[in-house]
Chains A and B, each alone.
Chain A
Amino acid sequence: MNNFDLILRNVTQRKMRTGLTVFGIALGIFAIMVMGGMSEYFSRHADRGLDLMSDKIYIVPESGFFGGGLVDSMVSKVRRIPGVFDAYGLLWMPYDMESLGMFGAFVVGIAPEKQELTLKEIKITQGRLLVPGDRYRAVVGSNVARQYGLNVGDELEIKSKKVQRASTITTARNFTVVGAMEFTSTDFDYMIIIPLDLAKKFYDLDDQLTYIWAVPEEGVDAEDLSRRIELGVENIKTFSPQELRKQSEQMLMVMNLITISAAVLAAIIGGLSVMNTMLMSVSERTREFGLMKAMGAEVRDILLLTMGESALMGILGGVIGIAGGSIFIYFMNDYLATMGTVLFAVTYRLMAVSLVFATFLGTVSGILPAYRAARMRPMEAMKYG
């Protein structure tokens, strides 16, 4: 029996109640979209970042990322390990020298000839990559370009700090933008790539490096090579692509757990509001359900009517929540991009999960009220009210 028109009628006739319930669900789904959007962004960010690094072994100083201690000579040592196709160092400095360097743009020193190995399939949307011989030239990531309104030919001021005895000397130089990268949803969006040699000089770091990439030869097991590099070169720590992925997944899992559980909690509260509404609606319509049974309605007819109603409210709430969340994320990303960052990603997966969850929530919340309505004895129901 197709009773969708009856379901629709009941939902639309009780506008205030439906509106409030749908709003409750929509809020929950909005929370799922926003929190989930954040999770999606971070997992995409990590995934894409890992994809770009999946063919390399990541080498950091044994004392940690910020401990310093990698020098040029180590690159040669790594390169000499059998199975290493190539190795090169990078210098990684925060763009804003006053910041902690955890967020925002980074200045990355890369040897021009190693750019393609590092950037892989990332496209240049404007201009070109660095070429050997370039000096105060830079290639910028999409978020950097957006934040500072940079186009090819524009100048970008980069500062470095030097501590000399009791004073700090800040040097500022203008770098000409020669290229801009596409949006990748990875750390590359935050990069200002400058020539490595110049970077060392500019930051007065002599032969220091932040980390080293080692590219294994074809057919060489990266795990095994990673261990051999760690054993063969002193004072370093290596991370194979698998280890990087594992670490990243663990971090993401914790983050997803926090964001998703907060969002699910919000959505469950929305679900309880549907249950409350439906219980009220069923008790108000006791006589109506009794009458339907007296007319020969089957238990499944009543179940379908009541659960259909709550499912419809769930779907409505879901659609509104998804739309609201997507609009919020769109404007939020737009706003954040002007500050050089992006925090959310709306994916079809997120939208589908949100809609399925909203429908599920609506339907499940309707089970108890529907059961109550369906089990009503017509005689008692007709006497009621």
Chain B
Amino acid sequence: MPKVFAAAQLDCKNDLTSGAKSYDPLTFRVTFKFMNTRAEKPQRNSMAKVSRRDAIKTLGAAALTTGLPLAGVAAQEHATAPPARTPSGGSGAAPGAAAGSPPTTYLFFNSEEAAFIEAAVARLIPADEQWGGAIEAGVPNYIDKQLGGAWGAGERLYRSGPWQPGTPSQGYQLPFTPAELFKKAIGAINKEFAASGTPFAKMSPDQQDGYLRKLEAGGKDLDGVPSEVFFAHLWGSTLEGFFADPVYGGNRDMISWRMIGFPGAYASYYDLVDQHGIKIDRAPMSLAQDAHGHVHPNPNVPADLPPNNQ
């Protein structure tokens, strides 16, 4: 089965890189180089059709038998055993972040805002018995970096007035940039809870869910931001941070991609697309991963690539 073998080869290359300690591009590159020099392993052929859980085990086995650093295996294990969540102490470190991954250094949120974001995204996409959630994926870090950058400042947002409320079909019509919108809304929420004595982050999960549902349902004013608008931004950013490429600081260890089976930035399925129903257990690939020009690793693609591409 030459075609399956070709797929398996790709699996191997990418599986191993997924075991990198973190997605810090520098670390990643070092890991990737190391992985790439490995001799062929017998596990390769078994990768094409095994289940994802088995693939994780196989990866662990491969690492053990070759004496690879085990950080990657540790990261993988969070898939089956989510770490306990710990309440934020306002230290700026993400609670419940995957062991071995660096704590979030907040550049945009202050500690009180960070505490709210961490607690909220933990409820929006919680960890379960198999897969980590938004916290494990580093979603608060993703949101923090987006809001602190061009997106937060209103990139690709037409910002001229006059400002007036529109119909739902006219879309977003508030004068706030995303950064302003999050600051205002979270500030209003934290003020509300400060008055009641228990911050959002210290409430029970059920209470937190109830409050988030209230925000989502709308009708609540958060210092000029309708709560449903804030919720939509919060949820949209959480989704992005969970599913976007890890280079943006979320989706740590490509946790969401492994959960659903999305191969990521991988570039070619020419030989697989007509193998209908094939189970792809290839570990996903991040943008950061391919720093060596290995864009078209499949020699069977009938493409005469220009020199720059090879």
Bound pair (A, B)? no
